Structure 1
């Protein structure tokens, strides 16, 4: 809209106490056993210290459970700071997690995913062992003594929000004209944008606009949102002199990492995106005359953009659940004077007529991402604020991973805003590469326009994301919610109702 990864894993069997069926004439012994997978995504915040996000998956190998309590001990003095999908507590080095009302029941072979954020000093070694319901992991499935009492099942509140998905967001890659998971299943990007990270920091107002916590993610899942696009600011990530230290550099990077990891752990695919960038532009359709990253510029700049993407790709490489969106809304054709020169500038960058700063073309940004070793899906939009994909296939950058997808932005006030244009300009792209409409919306606080658009996208296996999950006035611009509990605006209700029928 205009306006290091360290992975640690431990897997083993955990004994679980379970009960015999009460309808049998004599006590029956129930098989018990479990497997736990523990992985972390670590980052450094200073010399010899840092933070991490831990993803913990519990798989029940025995008879069905109706409740559980997980325990382990931090071996390196780590401190838990925030947890999700369980009731987390820490006493000294001992950590425990008990089930929520929606994930206490675990059938045989069933899994549940929980997680937490923490801090470390010196190092972040993995826990040596886990317990479940007080029994230490021993890698076997056994039966408890006859007469063992069954675990109680916690009450379920009828007003409770819909539970989050049973696992973390899937790893994704391009296969033909589809995004697919590690199992080869087709996967559409369906969800919303979460604005704030592009503007608050450069304006000196913080890092985000509103809460970026587990509660807000749970509210999103109540809408069956499974993709969230996170707009970022180039200068804030790099910590240039134009940004207050509290809101830039390491502080900003850690906040982004924490939120992205929360999304992944909650089953939501994050799209990290460079929204605002450095460079002065005062030509046609200029959003501002400021050299700082305070508005939408026509193209990424060669001074900072490659470093931005080297940093972002380095932060998330190895986690292919995260998608990279290279730039929000290019409009080089407005500056260069024609579509032909615009598309050349789009791909090749350099000195582009009408743009007063050296341009980073999208081929150079693909190269910067891949030079880090990152294999993540890369998304690129088109001209005219990503509303024009007419020559996208012709100018598509080369990628050694063959892992590039296209995106478009569609609003009711765009040039391409009707089904005949979608058929002519979008459908040919969607037939060859994965296509998602990463911003959709209308400026009348209604949803008739996006209803038609979403129906077209469903028929063409195209994904879409509503703009935006922020509590703004939907009569002055597309805003989906009136509070962060997920109360929909009139515009948002249309997208919420539609997601309920097509997403999971």
Structure 2
């Protein structure tokens, strides 16, 4: 075998030029690289390759070299780099000990591979995501509109560098290169790094940032840039920890941004600065004075960063509205700031968490209805008309629903959330708005690097480029006993065409299992009977309606009976109501006094806040009424109406006397 390998050595060398390096530590005053790919040894079905990367531009800290094999070759073993492949596309990432490539320096790695038929050298390489030319170059920075467009879509490393007092204090693990690489692989082009600095600097007047903290921030910025992300950093919870007092602490604000600007002065233009997160002020006389204070801070920020020179002279700077809110008065006030700054490299940012009753499930806001849709389109129309129509790009720096969280199941019904996600993607895309998902751990499990709900990610990702069909519901309820009849479901194709319905990997038969006419999908009695099986409580089958584009729409076939409840005694600390859900799921709860007026918190509505006031327990068959609910309930009788997603309701009568509470079904 050794003799055969020596005889078949080709000694082929392909010198290939690569350039346009995206560096992690410079403003790209010069960029470029050269790649030498050599095959010193080849034998039947296998070969050894050596790769040398020479940096012709500014220093690189963290690198990814990518190429495509043209004849089906595969890497089987690598050294001095971590090599991964997706089809013909190959990525070699630096090892822990060789992330830096100084100007003029070379880093090398090698691998063994397999081949069949032929083994041509790759035709081209890219370093850190930029294609190759082989000479040093001076790239022209993109304009703000082009930069913001290239940032779409974005992702927030939430509750991490912004956590108080440190990175892991709010439950997330330490940030790793593997995490950032995974997020990038999922299609995100930018990453927002919310950073709270207040626990990591010294006293006045210097307010010196702790060296270890600044090094950690810089490390994550470097890693992110090396992955090819656009990166946005800011002052985050500083906004309410100390900057909200009137008059604001402009000395500390200036000292922090002076140090941050100096640290990142010569970084790539793909690094973006955001002046402050969700600015808010206490002690002012009202909005007019709030606008004046925010204008002062944003102006101080822009002038300070620009004066630091280097890449900061033209770096994209992002300015928020008051509260990062999109009410028209907030937008107009920020526009006045843009007008007097007259800086060509600025962008606006607002946040979007949807129509508040729906976002937190209060006041009966349980569905993605007309009010939710109008709030969404109205918000996006206002920011488009106020900013993008004037040539000022917009970043929706955070978006989600406030109370969507894997730790609070059922608070936002999944299908209604899917409709919201689909609509946000579409309406933002058609208005030219860049969106950055707020993810504090509720979407991506950062330990396993998997999506907590793959379907949520799938419909969100589809919305970046197309529309997905949806339906009025994602649940069809069947009775536990008796004859099963056909069920209809209103579909909303969103410009697509229904292609079929599938259970697992099996297509249902049109005409036999279902019919589709216009926007009505009908599942036949025979198909539902078959799918219900033994009709055990809960989900008996999961279908997907498949459309001509986008993500499929899920439909759960659920068997249930009307829920039942039993008497209970407790205190205002909590009352646990025994509840046999019998396959059903809780939608919301009403609470009223004997005269019909709303009981409990939020006295303007009888519908109470899901999870804050009542919490379903599906595994132990309970509904817990919380101390938050009873804190605002008067002594005497209260009538509760529990609403379930099947359409069923249960009535429950409470009597509160001091700290004692009793209850029983009506």
Q: What is the TM-score when the length of structure 1 is the normalising length?
A: 0.62
Question: Could you tell me which residue of structure 2 aligns to residue 209 of structure 1?
Answer: 172
Shift of 1:18: 8.1
Shift of 1:316: 2.2
Q: Distance in 1 between matches of 2:157 and 2:171?
A: 9
Q: Distance in 2 between matches of 1:410 and 1:172?
A: 33
Q: Distance in 2 between matches of 1:273 and 1:240?
A: 20
Q: Distance in 2 between matches of 1:117 and 1:312?
A: 26
Structure label with greater radius of gyration: 2
Contact 1:277–1:300 at 8 Å: present in 2 too? no
Q: Distance in 2 between matches of 1:444 and 1:369?
A: 36
1:485 aligns with 2:464: no
Question: Could you tell me which residue of structure 1 aligns to residue 225 of structure 2?
Answer: 264
Q: In the TM superposition, what are the counterparts of 1:99-248 in structure 2 within 5 Å?
A: 99-102=83-86, 114-115=93-94, 128-131=105-108, 133=110, 151-152=113-114, 167-168=128-129, 175=143, 178-180=145-147, 186-202=149-165, 209-240=172-203
Q: In the TM superposition, what are the counterparts of 1:17-32 in structure 2 within 5 Å?
A: 17=39
Q: Distance in 2 between matches of 1:169 and 1:387?
A: 36
Contact 1:236–1:252 at 8 Å: present in 2 too? no
1:437 aligns with 2:396: yes
Question: Could you tell me which residue of structure 1 aligns to residue 272 of structure 2?
Answer: 323
**CA gap 1:498/1:379 in 2 versus in 1, 3 angstroms:** same
Structure showing greater relative contact order (alpha-carbon pairs closer than 8 Å, 6 or more residues apart):
1
Determine helix, strand or coil for the equivalent of 2:249: coil
TM-align CA RMSD: 4.8
Q: Distance in 2 between matches of 1:344 and 1:307?
A: 21
Determine helix, strand or coil for the equivalent of 1:200: coil
Aligned residue among 262, 284, 290 for 1:314: 262
Determine helix, strand or coil for the equivalent of 1:461: coil
Determine helix, strand or coil for the equivalent of 1:376: coil
Q: Distance in 1 between matches of 2:67 and 2:167?
A: 45
Deviations 1:183-213 (A, max 9, x none): xxx5243122112345435369669932311
Determine helix, strand or coil for the equivalent of 2:85: coil
Question: Could you tell me which residue of structure 1 aligns to residue 294 of structure 2?
Answer: 346
Q: Distance in 1 between matches of 2:253 and 2:349?
A: 19
Contact 1:276–1:297 at 8 Å: present in 2 too? no
Q: Distance in 2 between matches of 1:98 and 1:487?
A: 20
**CA gap 1:426/1:127 in 2 versus in 1, 3 angstroms:** closer
Shift of 1:393: 1.7
1:497 aligns with 2:459: yes
Aligned residue among 210, 215, 220 for 1:249: 210
More strand as a share of residues: 2
Contact 2:422–2:459 at 8 Å: present in 1 too? no
Determine helix, strand or coil for the equivalent of 2:236: strand
Deviations 1:346-393 (A, max 9, x none): 112xxxxxxxxxxxx111111111111113211111013433423322
Shift of 1:401: 5.6
Aligned residues: 386
Shift of 1:33: 9.3
Structure 1: runs of 5 or more not aligned = 24-31, 42-51, 70-85, 89-95, 107-111, 135-149, 155-164, 279-286, 349-360, 472-478
Q: Distance in 2 between matches of 1:300 and 1:133?
A: 56
Q: Distance in 1 between matches of 2:427 and 2:82?
A: 44
Determine helix, strand or coil for the equivalent of 2:194: strand
Question: Could you tell me which residue of structure 1 aligns to residue 315 of structure 2?
Answer: 376
Q: Distance in 2 between matches of 1:437 and 1:385?
A: 9
Question: Could you tell me which residue of structure 1 aligns to residue 433 of structure 2?
Answer: 462
Contact 1:436–1:462 at 8 Å: present in 2 too? yes
Structure 2: runs of 5 or more not aligned = 1-23, 117-125, 132-138, 358-373, 405-416, 467-666
